[in-house]
């Protein structure tokens, strides 16, 4: 395979190629441990009985299950075809009027800016402070009157997380300015309970939206399930926009997530295994003299010597390992590496050793 074939020309083009068994997929922050027990059977059963039938457009059972799981009433839950769709639908909902604006960080999940652009809103991006989320600067930008703010916490791609005081300061600023503040917590399941400040705030009635996904720690990326949790009036507005897509969440996804929610121990196991493998990855990077940012997630941002575009291409073509090159996110020289299993970390470490010897 030539380097041209393995180097994606856009951000997601490599998904298909890396679907082959021999490639190690460390570029999409997927769960390497497989889906929760029973979910494959749930999908199969639902398909066998109802493949010819539309799903419940209101997702009633699912929203009730999620409401119990997150400790809020069902009116405070919206679901979508992945968080991807919820980010777009939220942008469509709150950025309808002329003159609306979005604030987010300069280096983050591209969906926020792409969604804002698709509805023609103005975007203000705040530079990171090193690898950290620039909480004070985002707070100031909200105070200047943004309509909508997306804060990715923990932050993709650096793995940093806000502390409780920073989360509270952002919520205070958003309430004062009337900004719809969204915390995208796609990776919060890896960080653990102590960091779940925004969800506590939602439960306490604060005006903030929290987004979660079943694609990462929950190991269900393929079924596409994202969740927004927040005040009932904001959720109703998001739901009204999503009404244009009445069957966006399919039957298999609804059943699989309900089955997954019956097994809270699964998520504990994934968090523990990921933490162990992440420690091994960090130790391996230390041993190789590669700098990295501390992470609470299932990925680590590392700085490689030389050109990271070439480094990424060589990892793919010579070692069949995909990682995310962060050039496109404004971090030249940096890679985002998904943690994987301990065996996968060892395979990556062997490949990195070989590449550093011949770079
Ligand atoms: C920060 C962040 N938000 C949202 C998503 C999209 O997740 P989903 O699979 O739920 O659409 C991702 C996926 O990589 C992500 O990293």
Structure tokens at 226: 């994202």
**Same domain, yes or no: 249 and 269:** no
Distance CA 223, CA 209 (A): 23
- For a substitution probing ligand 1, which of 30, 104, 108, 109 has the most ligand atoms within 8 Å of its CB? 109
- In this structure, the strands spanning 77-80 and 122-126 are unpaired
Say if CB 326 and CB 336 are below 8 A apart: yes
**Same domain, yes or no: 312 and 193:** no
- Of 229, 244, 261, the one marking the end of a domain is 261
CATH number of the domain where residue 322 is located: 3.90.1150.10
Distance CA 187, CA 30 (A): 11
- For a substitution probing ligand 1, which of 86, 111, 211 has the most ligand atoms within 8 Å of its CB? 111
Structure tokens at 309: 């575009």
**Same domain, yes or no: 109 and 221:** yes
Predicted confidence (pLDDT) per residue in 262-281, tens digit = 999 999 999 999 999 999 99
| Whole-number pLDDT of residue 328 | 84
Structure tokens at 295: 């992470």
Helices 82-94 + 111-118 axis angle, to 10: 40
Predicted confidence (pLDDT) per residue in 4-38, tens digit = 333 333 334 444 455 555 889 999 999 999 999 99
**Cross-strand bridge partners of residue 227:** 79, 212
- For residue 317, give its domain range: 3-34+265-357
**Same domain, yes or no: 182 and 290:** no
- For a substitution probing ligand 1, which of 215, 248, 338 has the most ligand atoms within 8 Å of its CB? 215
Q: Rounded to the nearest whole angstrom, what is the distance from the C-alpha of residue 185 to the centroid of ligand 1?
A: 9
Dihedral angle computed from the Cα positions of residues 223, 228, 233 and 236, in that order, rounded to the nearest 10 degrees: -10
Q: Rounded to the nearest whole angstrom, what is the distance from the C-alpha of residue 213 to the centroid of ligand 1?
A: 7
| Whole-number pLDDT of residue 20 | 52
> Alpha carbon of 203 to those of 12, 18, 175, 207: distances in Å?
35, 40, 15, 10
Q: Rounded to the nearest whole angstrom, what is the distance from the C-alpha of residue 307 to the centroid of ligand 1?
A: 27
| Whole-number pLDDT of residue 6 | 37
**Same domain, yes or no: 63 and 211:** yes
Say if CB 209 and CB 228 are below 8 A apart: yes
Q: Which residues of the chain have pLDDT under 50?
A: 1-16
**Cross-strand bridge partners of residue 210:** 183, 229
Q: Rounded to the nearest whole angstrom, what is the distance from the C-alpha of residue 287 to the centroid of ligand 1?
A: 31
What number of CA atoms fall less than 13 Å from residue 229's CA on the CB side?
Answer: 30
Tell which atom from ligand 1 comes closest to the C-alpha of 28.
Answer: 14
Distance CA 299, CA 213 (A): 16
**Same domain, yes or no: 317 and 340:** yes
Cβ-proximal residues to 224 (8 Å cutoff; 6+ apart), any chain: 81, 82, 84, 85, 215, 249, 250, 253
Q: Rounded to the nearest whole angstrom, what is the distance from the C-alpha of residue 186 to the centroid of ligand 1?
A: 6
Q: Rounded to the nearest whole angstrom, what is the distance from the C-alpha of residue 359 to the centroid of ligand 1?
A: 33
For ligand 1, atom 4, name the residue with the nearest CA: 83
Single out the residue of 155, 144, 158, 223 nearest to residue 187, CA to CA.
155
Q: Rounded to the nearest whole angstrom, what is the distance from the C-alpha of residue 330 to the centroid of ligand 1?
A: 19
**Same domain, yes or no: 75 and 182:** yes
Distance CA 9, CA 22 (A): 22
- In this structure, the strands spanning 226-229 and 77-80 are antiparallel
Distance CA 159, CA 89 (A): 26
CA angle, 197 as apex, 193 and 202 as ends, to 5°?
A: 115
**Same domain, yes or no: 16 and 62:** no
| Whole-number pLDDT of residue 11 | 37
| Whole-number pLDDT of residue 358 | 78
- Of 261, 289, 316, the one marking the end of a domain is 261
Q: Rounded to the nearest whole angstrom, what is the distance from the C-alpha of residue 90 to the centroid of ligand 1?
A: 14
To which residue do tokens 């021999």 refer? Answer: 22
- For a substitution probing ligand 1, which of 28, 162, 189, 213 has the most ligand atoms within 8 Å of its CB? 213
- Of 240, 261, 282, the one marking the end of a domain is 261
pTM of the model: 0.94
- Ligand 1 environment, Cβ below 6 A: 29, 82-84, 109, 152, 156, 184, 186, 213, 215, 221, 226
Q: Tell how far CA 22 is from the center of its chain.
A: 25
């Amino acid at each position: 395979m030539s380097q041209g074939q393995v180097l994606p020309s856009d951000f997601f083009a490599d998904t298909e190629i890396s679907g082959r068994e021999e490639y190690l997929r460390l570029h999409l922050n997927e769960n390497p441990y497989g889906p929760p027990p029973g979910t494959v059977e749930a999908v199969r059963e639902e398909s066998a009985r109802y493949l010819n039938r539309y799903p419940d457009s209101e997702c009633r059972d699912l929203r009730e299950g999620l409401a119990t799981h997150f400790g809020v009433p069902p009116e405070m839950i919206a679901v979508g075809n992945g968080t991807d769709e919820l980010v777009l639908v939220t942008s469509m909902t709150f950025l309808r009027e002329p003159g609306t604006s979005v604030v987010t960080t300069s280096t983050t999940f591209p969906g926020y800016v792409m969604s804002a652009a698709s509805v023609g809103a103005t975007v203000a991006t705040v530079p990171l402070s090193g690898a950290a989320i620039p909480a004070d600067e985002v707070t100031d930008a909200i105070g200047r009157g943004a309509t909508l703010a997306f804060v990715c916490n923990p932050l993709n791609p650096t793995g940093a997380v806000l502390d409780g005081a920073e989360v509270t300061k952002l919520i205070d600023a958003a309430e004062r300015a009337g900004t719809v503040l969204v915390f995208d917590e796609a990776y919060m399941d890896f960080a653990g309970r102590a960091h779940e400040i925004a969800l506590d705030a939602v439960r306490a009635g604060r005006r903030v939206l929290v987004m979660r996904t079943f694609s990462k720690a929950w190991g269900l990326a393929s079924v596409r399930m994202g969740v927004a949790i927040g005040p009932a009036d904001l959720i109703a507005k998001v739901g009204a926009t999503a009404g244009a897509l009445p069957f966006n969440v399919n039957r298999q996804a609804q059943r699989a997530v309900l089955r997954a929610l019956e097994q809270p121990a699964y998520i504990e196991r994934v968090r523990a295994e990921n933490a162990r493998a992440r420690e091994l990855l960090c130790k391996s990077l230390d041993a190789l003299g590669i700098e990295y940012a501390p992470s609470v997630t299932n990925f680590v941002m590392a700085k490689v010597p030389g050109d990271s575009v070439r480094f990424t291409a060589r990892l793919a073509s010579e070692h069949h390992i995909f990682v995310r090159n962060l050039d496109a996110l404004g971090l030249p020289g940096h890679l985002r590496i998904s943690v994987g299993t301990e065996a996968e970390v060892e395979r990556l470490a062997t490949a990195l050793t070989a590449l550093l010897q011949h770079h």
